A and B are shown apart, each in its own frame.
Chain A
Amino acid sequence: EDKVVQSPLSLVVHEGDTVTLNCSYEVTNFRSLLWYKQEKKAPTFLFMLTSSGIEKKSGRLSSILDKKELFSILNITATQTGDSAVYLCAVERGGATNKLIFGTGTLLAVQP
Chain B
Amino acid sequence: GAVVSQHPSWVICKSGTSVKIECRSLDFQATTMFWYRQFPKQSLMLMATSNEGSKATYEQGVEKDKFLINHASLTLSTLTVTSAHPEDSSFYICSARRQTYSNQPQHFGDGTRLSIL
Contact = CB atoms under 8 A, between A and B. Distances in A.
Interface stretch (B62-70, B77-85, B107-115): B107-115
Contacts, number: 52
A45 B105 contact: yes
Given A102-B43, A105-B43, A45 B97 contact: no
Interface string A70-112: 0000000000000000001010100001111111110000000
B49 interface: yes
A5 to B, nearest CB: 11
Interface residues on A, range: 20 to 34
A100 B93 contact: no
B102 to A, nearest CB: 10
B49 A97 contact: yes
B107 to A, nearest CB: 6
Contacts of B105: 34, 45, 48
Interface of B: 6, 32, 34, 42-46, 49, 51, 57, 93, 95, 97, 100-101, 103, 105-111
